[in-house]
Amino acid sequence: MSWLLSFLDRRVNPVLVKEVRQSVRGRFFRTAFLFALAIAWITTVLVLQEIQGSRDQANGGRVLFLWLHGIFVLTSFIIVPQLANRGMAAEQEENTFDALITSGLAPAKIVAGKMMAALVIQLLFLCAFLPFLSMGFTLYGLDIVISFVLLLFTTAGGFGLALVGIQAACLAKTRASSNLMQGLFTLGIVTCSISWLGFSTGMTLEIGALGLTGWEFFFAVILSLLAWFLFLYWVFAYTVSTITHPEENSSARLRSAAILLSIGMLAGATTQLYFKPDAEGLNAWLVWILLLTAFFHLPSFTSKDSLGRRASADLSLKKWNRPGMGFFLKGGGRGTALFFLCLALPLLLFVFFPSLEARDIKNGALAPIATLLIILAVTGLPAALAASPKASPQKQKLWRFLILFSIPLLSLLAVLTGLLMGEVDAEHPLNAIGFIFGAFDPIHDEPSLSSGGVIFFGLFAIVGFLVGLKRIVRALQETRSTKRAIREGMRPSSE
Amino acid sequence: MTPLLEVRQLTRKFGSLLAVNEASFTIQKGEVWGFIGPNGAGKTTTMRAIATLDLPDEGDVYINGSSVLVEPQKARQTVGFMPDSLGAYSDTTVLEYLDFFARAVGLEPAARKKRIDQVMDFTDLRPLAERMMKSLSKGMSQRLCLAKTLLHDPELLVLDEPAAGLDPRARVEFRELVRALANEGKGVLISSHILSELSEVCDGVVVIEQGKIIRAGGVKQLAKDVSEHELLFIRTLGSIDKLETTLAESRGVVSTRQEREGLVIEFQGSEEEISDLLASLVNQGLKPVEFHWHQVDLEELFLSFTDGNVQ
């Protein structure tokens, strides 16, 4: 035991120790922890009382689990990410960040320490809830597999949001922008938690109740987690890069804003599932994962991305490193390869998930392919134009601005097109997103987009795809020439 | 010999503002150098570049011959940077703060404890070990900040306005600490607005204005730059006008200016001629009560180099 303690004393990340110590002592955590426990206890008592009085006790376990899981979602998706976000923001606000950097701690270690601290806090919450949650298993109607998967997903989700919170805090340079990021982040996590509550309820009621937890389900779960952690690794890499180069984080800001925006949209799409909790809805959800991944990486195609170049130089000089980070930060061939890998994972999900409802592979795969084309059309074009060597700094800013707002613009276009065609209800703007999917999603019996609309988006798609492809080919060529230069003994330039 | 610190052609721009413009200077081990200049002159920007907290647009900084651009982690092991204010962690005691940074610099458990004890003794922080950081006074915070800076035993200390906000007693203590560090062979670059503070500890100064280094060198050398002649101070009993008139007619006196209750004389001549000057003053009935070499202090140097633009 003493050996273990001694080992931990030597090896444990100092930032993890500091963060956990500060959080646990802080008033925010203590209040939230006690409050969550009290709510869990009261909820358990009330639900048990309700079940006892009820004639139908067959679903008692499920009902109790859903309530308690709901509280756990709120703590994981709101309190833990907020703690992580505030922890990093406080470093900037209280001038302690410089001390961290000059202490010799590698930026990756700082971010990792803060991430792990968020996980520890989350596990503390989970441990506190477990006795209450376990009561659900003594009652009827709770599928143990689904409940385990949900807890796993919620923990992974909270952990990921904490990392996004850390990155959001890294981006701001001024108090005003810090407040803005804080506001956006809070909005994002609240939306996420509501959405996830809806989705998890649907998952429990539909998949769990129907016993659809075969091997395909497990495969889908593993792929989902893998895609999520790949995405998080990406966020991690860019967070590290951002704090390594505080002087040059405009493109990282763009990415982070893109993440936040995408998360908000992902949440928006999944919110719909709350009202329609069936397995079909998973298609839309997975399409959004795909969109999120693609949207996040597209700005990397811009070769003038100075943060990426600086990060690349850092990696070349071995200033800091983590396995596989080159994939995420270096862009070019490897970055592109990873981009497609991230695309492929959700696609694989489509291969397996439709079998739950006996849908064929072709139908399942069509929606994400169509979505990818749309994304390339709307974001690939400005990304490629921003990367053009002839683009002036002002034009680059404009194109990057367009990347950032391409998805809302796409929605707007869809709404306008739908209005012109008389096929969308203007009073439900969220349906604009659904409208796009509806046009390509074969689940719907009748595609709601007219042939004119298909041509309209198709043209964008073709142009964007071709320009994007050209950019990828050029990146691959650059990578090859750099490799050749290295082989010939020349040092790759950081600029 | 490789200098401990070499700032070479350092340039840093913030948009259209040229914060530091081709700054160059060097510091050797065991030397204490003052870094002086008006507000916004570029002192902190330069120091942050030395501490690897900011990247220069052009030029480089070398610590023991290693570039901070190429090997920032190596530089961080050699440099101890003390910012102008200590960032305090909430819900953290002085001991926990030092323990955290001792872990961060990679000290093993036994060495960590020993080093924390050493720096706490050196900075007289032991009685405050269990105090919460937020409850520390300015002087205590500065001592803690210095203790944190010393944890990894850096060869070069970069201290940004360390005496700001300190009371007179704390200033004296701080000055003694800096001198003690220099005696241990550490190089120290220290910026301060209180130039009289620096005069007592500095071997040399770097004067910066509007991002440009306008003078850098040893204090004695810079004093010679201010005046090519010897500077003497004399105070006599009686009227200062008579003294001034007498001196104006004396051989070797180039100019005089009033300071305190006496006169500073710019004198051209040998030590024997200085002795003759004193004798002639006595012979003419003047009664000297003070007569010595005039020490040019940093304020005078600074004012003469910057046209008096103290901000």
Neighbouring CB atoms inside 10 A of B30's CB total 15
Q: What is the pLDDT of residues B252-272, one digit of tens each?
A: 888 888 877 888 888 888 888
- Residue A113 reports pLDDT greater than 90: yes
Helical H segments across A143-174, by residue range: 144-171
Neighbouring CB atoms inside 10 A of B135's CB total 11
Q: What is the pLDDT of residues A41-83, one digit of tens each?
A: 998 888 888 877 766 666 778 888 888 888 999 899 999 999 9
Q: How far apart are CA A390 and CA A303, in angstroms?
A: 12
pLDDT of residue A106: 82
In the structure encoding, which two tokens stand for residue B284, read together?
């003419």
Q: How far apart are CA B192 and CA A284, in angstroms?
A: 62
Q: How far apart are CA A297 and CA A338, in angstroms?
A: 10
DSSP B190-222: EE-S-HHHHHTT-SEEEEEETTEEEEEEEHHHH
* Bridge partners, residue B157, by sequence: B80, B188
Residue (of A179, A181, A183, A186) closest to A168 by Cα position: A181
Average confidence (pLDDT) over B47-70: 87
CB contact under 8 A, B76 and A103: yes
In the structure encoding, which two tokens stand for residue B140, read together?
């205590």
- Virtual CA dihedral for B44, A321, A185, A114, nearest 10 degrees? -80
DSSP 8-state secondary structure symbol assigned to residue A376: I
- Flag the least confident range among A170-179, A253-262, A418-427, B36-45: A418-427
Neighbouring CB atoms inside 10 A of A193's CB total 23
- Residue A443 reports pLDDT greater than 60: no
Per-residue confidence at A243, pLDDT binned at 50, 70, 90? confident
Per-residue confidence at A206, pLDDT binned at 50, 70, 90? low
Average confidence (pLDDT) over B62-66: 90
Cβ-Cβ contacts under 8 Å, B86 against chain A:
95
Mean of the per-residue pLDDT values of chain B: 84
Cβ-Cβ contacts under 8 Å, B72 against chain A:
319
Residue (of A155, A20, A8, A138) closest to A76 by Cα position: A155
Cβ-Cβ contacts under 8 Å, A247 against chain B:
54-55
Average confidence (pLDDT) over A383-404: 66
CB contact under 8 A, A95 and B55: no
Question: Chain B interface, mutation test: which of A21, A93, A100, A102, most B Cβ atoms within 10 Å?
Answer: A102
Residue (of A12, A14, A232, A19) closest to A117 by Cα position: A19
pLDDT of residue B99: 92
Percentage of residues in chain A with pLDDT exceeding 90? 8
pLDDT of residue A407: 57
Mean of the per-residue pLDDT values of chain A: 67
* Bridge partners, residue B58, by sequence: B11
* Bridge partners, residue B132, by sequence: B93
- Residue B83 reports pLDDT greater than 80: yes
CB-hemisphere CA count at 13 Å for A375? Answer: 22
pLDDT of residue A378: 60
Average confidence (pLDDT) over A33-43: 91
Q: What is the CA A132 to chain-centroid distance, rounded?
A: 29
CB contact under 8 A, A104 and B88: no
CB contact under 8 A, A90 and B106: no
pLDDT of residue A255: 55
Rama region for B86: left / alpha / beta (φ>0; ψ in -120 to 50; rest):
beta
pLDDT of residue A362: 41
Beta pairing, strands B5-14 & B253-259: unpaired
Q: What is the pLDDT of residues B106-142, one digit of tens each?
A: 888 888 999 999 889 888 888 999 999 888 888 888 8
CB-hemisphere CA count at 13 Å for A164? Answer: 33
- Residue A205 reports pLDDT greater than 60: yes
In the structure encoding, which two tokens stand for residue A173, read together?
């340079």
pLDDT of residue B184: 86
pLDDT of residue B310: 43
Q: Tell which B residues from 111 to 150 touch A, by Cβ distance under 8 Å.
A: 148
The three-state secondary structure class of B81 is strand
Average confidence (pLDDT) over A386-413: 64
pLDDT of residue A377: 58
pLDDT of residue A257: 54
Q: How far apart are CA B234 and CA B231, in angstroms?
A: 10
Q: What is the pLDDT of residues B3-16, one digit of tens each?
A: 889 999 999 887 77
Beta pairing, strands B204-209 & B32-36: parallel
In the block, residue with structure tokens 């659809």: A212
User: Which helix (H) or strand (E) element contains residue B231?
Assistant: strand B230-237
Whether the CB-CB separation of B305 and B32 falls below 8 Å is answered with no
How many inter-chain contacts (A to B, CB under 8 Å) are there? Answer: 80
Nearest residue of chain A to residue B48 (CA atoms): A98
pLDDT of residue A386: 64
Beta pairing, strands B253-259 & B66-67: unpaired
